[in-house]
């Protein structure tokens, strides 16, 4: 087990009773992470996550990052030159809530270097190498995945499966992770361009100008929804759709859960619904392209000397986004093989789904004939099931956090929690504020949906209000008049898809699912990032 996990209390690990806020006065944030990973981690999934990112935290099964520790380490190492690095952190994760202060933990440079993950410098070097090998990786991964799938399925003994994991699958998963990280390094350029355009033409026109990042190519996050229309029109077969996009879904990072395409009826159901509702995704994309062209004309009328600059910047942003999304997709394609590997490992011992209650080092012990503390598995299951019953935790948590007390508090906030000021009242005005996700202003009725499994309740023309969305939600988007989320950022996959399709969206409102109820009439202004209760 890696060093960070070893540093936790043995009983805490045995029982999967982990709450990293017990470290003391720190700030934990999951603004971006919870979009990608909305589910509660099983022990196996969390242990794989620790291999990929040793610095990630765990609060009762939910992934968080210690942002205050990262900030203090950067300050200690970079001193007066840390301003730019800190700015990039807040650009990526968002500003802290008003009034929340960053705990100051002074340390020397040598102490700061010791607090960095042991493999941090190695990861930096590996990421630079991954940048050079990114294109061959993207090209070769689909075929590699097919061959590896057959190898795992055909492994006849635990020892053979163990060697496949150690020598082939695990190294390739790490390689895919580094490539995804390398492909995302250019996202700072998109954030910078968005800020410049907001100052030049305002948030609404900026959102429209940033709504054509697919260019003439294909954004992977748009593929799930666009592909259904292609199956409906006969341009793509169901088998081709599953081969290209079948590894993606709402629960793609939680290894204990299947992705949607593993249900053989899923694609058929989606096609039938699109057909019955007359959903035309290509028409939506064409209409949004017209709005983009109109915004472009307005820009050049105002800044005639900036035409070539804008074209160059938008082309660069498009290339970055397409590469980032494709690399993320290919990582998921490889990552999902771990589910197949785990189920195969469990099958040798007739474990079934219980295998996901083991950590990865325990799965390795199992395959090599080692002993497992079977008596603690029911305790882990009980804790995991308890964690799933809690509502999603706040995006930002400062200080020690008691999930039980928070969940039982009828006046709890869902946007942030600060142990030093736990009774801050929720805003009671008729206006909610979030990030501009996708431009457009509409009025309509709210449909609050807490779980993707209930997304079928959304009726055409309703405003979807939910905690967070990810790529698995995108096939539902064409039914929505607008989208509003508690958690989210302008560069999340879901916000990008909403922009490309011309669906107004406000993301990162913090407490929309508490302040809004199904049937409420609201006005959503995606360009300004506001939701008004009418």
Tens-digit pLDDT profile for residues 373-422? 899 999 999 999 999 999 989 989 999 999 999 999 888 888 889 998 76
Mean pLDDT across 512-527: 94
Q: Is the pLDDT of residue 291 over 50?
A: yes
Task: With a cut of 80, say whether residue 164 has pLDDT above it.
Answer: yes
235 DSSP 8-state letter: S
Contact 43, 49 (CB under 8 A): no
* Across 25-34, 145-154, 162-171, least confident range: 25-34
Would you say residue 2 has pLDDT above 60? no
**DSSP assignment string, 80-143:** GG-HHHHHHHHHHH-PPPTTPPPP-----HHHHHHHS-TTHHHHHHHHHHHHHHHHHHHHHHHH
pLDDT in tens, 323-332: 889 999 999 9
DSSP state of 237: -
Of all residues in the chain, the percent with pLDDT exceeding 70 is 92
How far apart CA 149 and CA 157 sit, in angstroms, is 16
Is residue 19's pLDDT more than 60?
yes
Mean per-residue pLDDT over the chain, rounded: 88
What pLDDT digit, counting tens, does each position of 165-223 carry?
999 999 999 999 988 888 887 788 888 899 899 999 998 899 899 988 887 777 888 88
What pLDDT is attached to residue 339?
97
Position 127 pLDDT exceeds 60: no
pLDDT digit string, tens, across residues 336-365: 999 999 999 999 999 999 999 999 999 999
Q: What's the pLDDT score for residue 459?
A: 95
Using the predicted structure, report yes or no on whether residue 9 has a pLDDT greater than 80: no
């Amino acid at each position: 087990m890696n060093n960070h996990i070893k540093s936790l209390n043995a009983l805490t690990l045995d029982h999967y009773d982990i709450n990293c806020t017990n470290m003391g006065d720190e700030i934990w944030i999951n603004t971006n992470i919870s979009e990608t990973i909305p589910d509660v981690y099983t022990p196996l999934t969390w242990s794989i996550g620790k291999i990929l990112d040793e610095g990630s935290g765990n609060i009762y099964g939910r992934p968080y990052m210690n942002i205050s520790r990262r900030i203090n380490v950067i300050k200690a190492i970079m001193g007066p030159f840390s301003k730019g690095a800190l700015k990039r952190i807040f650009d990526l994760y968002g500003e802290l809530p008003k009034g929340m202060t960053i705990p100051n933990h002074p340390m020397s440079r040598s102490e700061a270097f010791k607090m960095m993950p042991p493999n941090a410098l190695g990861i930096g070097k590996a990421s630079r190498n991954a940048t050079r090998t990114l294109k061959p990786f993207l090209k070769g991964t689909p075929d590699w995945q097919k061959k590896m799938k057959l190898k795992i399925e055909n492994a006849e003994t635990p020892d053979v499966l163990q060697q496949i994991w150690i020598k082939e699958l695990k190294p390739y998963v790490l390689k895919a992770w580094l490539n995804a990280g390398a492909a995302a390094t250019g996202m700072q350029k998109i954030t910078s361009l968005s800020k410049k355009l907001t100052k030049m033409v305002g948030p609404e026109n900026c959102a429209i100008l940033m709504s054509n990042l697919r260019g003439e190519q294909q954004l992977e996050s748009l593929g799930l929804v666009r592909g259904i229309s292609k199956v409906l029109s006969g341009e793509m077969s169901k088998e081709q759709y599953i081969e290209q996009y079948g590894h993606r879904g709402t629960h793609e990072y939680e290894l204990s859960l299947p992705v949607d395409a593993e249900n053989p009826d899923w694609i058929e159901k989606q096609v039938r619904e699109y057909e019955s509702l007359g959903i035309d995704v290509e028409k939506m994309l064409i209409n949004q392209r017209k709005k983009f062209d109109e915004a472009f004309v307005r820009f050049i009328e105002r800044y005639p000397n900036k035409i070539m600059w804008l074209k160059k910047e938008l082309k660069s942003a498009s290339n970055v986004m397409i590469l980032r999304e494709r690399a993320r997709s290919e990582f998921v394609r490889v990552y999902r093989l771990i589910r197949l590997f785990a189920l195969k490992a469990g099958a040798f011992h007739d474990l079934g789904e219980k295998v996901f209650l083991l950590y990865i080092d325990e799965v390795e012990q199992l395959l090599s004939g080692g002993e497992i503390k079977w008596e603690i598995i029911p305790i882990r299951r009980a804790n995991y099931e308890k964690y799933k019953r809690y509502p999603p935790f706040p995006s930002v948590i400062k200080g020690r956090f008691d999930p039980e007390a928070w969940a039982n508090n009828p006046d709890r906030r869902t946007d942030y929690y600060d142990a030093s000021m736990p009774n801050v009242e929720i805003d009671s005005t008729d206006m909610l504020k979030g990030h501009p996700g996708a431009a457009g202003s509409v009025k309509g009725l709210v449909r609050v949906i807490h779980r993707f499994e209930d997304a079928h309740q959304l009726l055409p023309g309703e405003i979807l209000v939910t905690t967070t969305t990810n790529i698995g939600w995108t096939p539902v988007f064409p039914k929505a008049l607008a989208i509003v989320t508690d958690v989210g950022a302008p560069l999340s996959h879901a916000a990008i898809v909403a922009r490309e399709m011309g669906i107004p969206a406000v993301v990162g409102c913090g407490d929309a699912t508490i302040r809004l109820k199904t049937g409420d009439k609201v006005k959503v202004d995606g360009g300004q990032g506001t939701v008004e209760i009418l």
